[in-house]
Amino acid sequence: MAATSNPGVTVLDRGLRLSLLARSGSDASFLQLIDRALETELTGDDTVRRLPQILHLSLLRAALTGTAAPPRAAPFSPEGSPSPGTEHEPYLRELRARWTDHAGRHLYSTPAAWLHALLPPAPLPGNPHSLARLLRVFVTHLAPADCRAATSLAALIEDSGEAAVAQCALVQVALAAHDLDAEAQAWSRQRQLLTRMPAWSWPGGHTGHDRDVLAYLRPDHRARFDTAIGVLPFATGLGHALLTCLPALNDIYRDAYACHGSLEYTEHRLAGHRPAQAAAIVHEETRRNPAGSPHVPGLPPAPPIVAAIVSADEQVLGGPELRIDDPVYRLYARISARTTRARRLGADDLTPEPAPADLDPKRLPAYAEMVRLNADSPIVAALAGRVRAEAAARNDHEALLILADAGYADPDQVLDSLDTPADLESPTAGEGPTGSDSPPAGDGPAKPYPEWSALLFRHRPAEAVRRLSEAASQDWTIAAAMLEHAAAELLAAAGPRIAHDLHEAVVQAFVCATPPGTDPPAVVDGTHV
Looking at 125-246, list the stretches that DSSP marks H as alpha helix, in order from N- to C-terminal side: 131-142, 147-154, 160-176, 180-196, 219-231, 236-242
Asked if 99 and 114 touch (Cβ cutoff 8 Å), the reply is no
Residue 211 buriedness (CB in 10 A; 0-12 / 13-18 / 19+): middle
pLDDT band at 444 (very low <50, low <70, confident <90, very high): very low
pLDDT band at 427 (very low <50, low <70, confident <90, very high): very low
pLDDT tens sequence across 107-129: 999 999 999 999 999 999 999 99
pTM: 0.92
Q: How far apart are CA 9 and CA 254, in angstroms?
A: 57
Whether the ω angle into residue 123 lies within 30 degrees of 0, i.e. cis, is yes
Which SS3 state, helix, strand or coil, does residue 524 take?
strand
Which of the two residues, 516 and 337, has the higher pLDDT score? 337
pLDDT tens sequence across 271-289: 999 999 999 999 999 889 8
CB neighbours (10 Å) of residue 464? 24
Instruction: For residues 482-510, give the mean pLDDT.
Output: 97
Q: How far apart are CA 511 and CA 208, in angstroms?
A: 39
Is 2 a residue whose pLDDT tops 80?
no
Q: What is the per-residue pLDDT for 448?
A: 60
Distance of CA 495 to the CA centre of its chain: 20
pLDDT band at 45 (very low <50, low <70, confident <90, very high): confident
Looking at the DSSP bridge assignments, the partners of residue 527 are 157, 524
Q: How far apart are CA 265 and CA 324, in angstroms?
A: 21
